[in-house]
Structure 1
Amino acid sequence: MTIERTADLLISQAVRLNVSDIHIIPRRQDYLIKLRVHGQLTHYGNLPPIAGERLISHLKFMASMDIGEKRKPQSGSWQTHIHKTFVALRISTLPSTLSKESLVIRIFPQNHSFFLEKMSLFPKSILRLISMMSHTHGMLIFTGPTGSGKTSTIYSLAEYCSSNLNRNIITLEDPVERQSDQFLQMQVNEKAGITYQTGLKAVLRHDPDMIFVGEIRDAETAAIAVRAAMTGHLVLTSMHTRNAEGAVYRLLEFGIKPLEIEQTLIGVTAQRLVSLLCPFCGDICSKFCEGGQEMKRAAVFEILEGERLDRIIRLARESAGPKDFDHVYSLKRLIRKGIALGYISNEEYHRWIFQEKEETAPESSRVFSDKTE
């Protein structure tokens, strides 16, 4: 079998199984291939050293990357049709101590849309998010770890605003994860001088009603996003914090004044994806189960708005540190509710608790983690 055929089979199988990431990992005797299916890494197979190196070189060539450079990290992308599905592939390489490269492929199905009503485990959460879209100006922040579905939620809300509210929407992303004909999308390109800061300044001159900023990463981007929200634009963006309250303290860390936060921030959403019980497999559902339910995972939203949001801003103004409030809409209580209703297993709850404990150590980095998507 040719290396081109091997690559096509690997990617087509991954798309068929709804894989989000393909990992090609070098080892002393071979290359290990793993797939991330529904958030869990699964062993897929092994390749001999020569075949593994040729596969990585072929994938780098398809992504317009430097095949001869193996000492530096590289990134690239390309788009293709697989199983009548238009997908975008983002490639990332890292050098290892074995003088070999590790390669990861992130898969973005372009014509796979999410229905708002089916995204959330609890429908009332989506109704609350939709109600926030009626605002003509302000800022809505989505928080959560990598792979929690923040971007999919924002895309779905933006498409709702475009089709139902007739909004002019412009996005600024790095990278553009899914192509949409319902709004104008702009790609961050630092080599061409298009950063989040310069791109956002240009977007503001293009008469948008709503702006989607891929991520607030620094003080200047935060300042421009707040200014956009104060001048008559609805801004949707994401931020890496452990919980919803942490977004307020992160804005303060970026130099945003409490009064500006009060005037612009509509709400903050902390999002997690939880695995649902399979009606065919029970507690432990096979990752390759195609006879089970179509949606094997659903989102749980902790939404911070109204009086609760005002209370957090007031605490922040008084220089009080971030606190974990075990309120009725906290992620922990919502997941417990999912267990009580029979949607989530106890094992899923304990796995989520373990991940939360890992994210909270050490104390100084509880809220201000700076991971990138």
Structure 2
Amino acid sequence: MSAKSEALAKILAKIQPTWQPPTPIEGAPLVENALLCVLVRTLSQAQAEQSIKALKQAANDWNELRVCQPQELQPLIATKDAARSLRAARDVRDCLQEIFQWSHGYELESLREDPVAAGKFVAYLQFHGHRISHYLMWLGSDKKTLPISVALVRMIDRLALVERIGALKKARPAVESLAGLSKDAKEIGAKELDFELRMSEVIDRWCHAQKPLCHQCPLVDDCVFGRKAFKEWKVQQVRMEQHRKKEEQRREILRKKDEERERKLAEREKKRRELEQQKAERERARMTREEQRRKADDAKEKARVDEIQRRKTAAETARVEKEKQRKAAIEQRRKDAEQKKREDEAKRIAAAKAKAAAALKKKAAAEKAAEQKRAERAAEQKRREAERKKAAAAKAKKSGKKKR
């Protein structure tokens, strides 16, 4: 075994895969196998396959599922665990969304047709990760081509297992040789696939393009780039620790200053409150004195007003009494006048009555005398008439005697 093979074996032994690829669905499109790889993160192989069948039956195409909410996809997931089904539904939507976003479809034919383009394309599949992406590239090549991506070449360059590769097109021979794949091999075996999955594990978890986590990577001691980055990280940590201590000291100083300022503010506030309290007490005392003085003045004023009112009442009572007496005197004089008037009127009436009675009596006497005179005249007239008649009768009698 060569030194590079021994170094590679040592490196691969340090990597413990956390994800095992599922058994692919034979004859299924790559998008279904992508969904299968994503779903086995949460579900079993059988549950994942059953869920894919339910999803295919529920929609006419994958695009309908992509625009659905996770809660709409949740009933199609083949598990009774609500949390797992919701997580799996979200994974389905995110998987379809990422594939559609970077390929504008769901065929993934670029993984079959052009290995170099596929190696560049999988760098965009952040949700799937390189473990699933490399596995899909392997399925897309009908298990005949070792998946090689930009991230894999970058990791091998960092490990310095081979001479610097550079372009992705020139990387295949060196990577296949490193993986132990013979030139006349017709199919990628389990050994090469295990190499691919272990390397992908490191890429997904630690060996990132921009900010690799070399201090956490198990290959840091075997990686030229990692040792340098780890050394820089330790220096950075020392600097950060120094900065942290300085920051703590600065914060401590600021804290003490703040405490001193707060203490002074508290003392000033306490003095201010005491002064305000004293002022309030003086104000209360002044208000009390003012209230007492006001009450005394009110009492004096009330007594003065009461005395004035009493005098007014007494004067009014006297005036009313005097007025009453005056009115009583006037009334008495009026009554006396009326009494006198009534008496005078009674006397006048009595006199008038007496006068009238006398007049009536006189009139009656006159009338009686007149009546008597009329009676006498009538008697006289009757006497005369009787005498006239008697004379006439005598005359007539005398005349009759003469005629005979």
Which protein has the bigger strand share? 1
TM-score for the superposition, normalised by structure 2: 0.19
TM-score (norm 1): 0.20
Higher helix share: 2
- In terms of Rg, which structure is larger? 2
Between the two structures, name the one with larger relative contact order (CA 8 Å, sep ≥ 6): 1
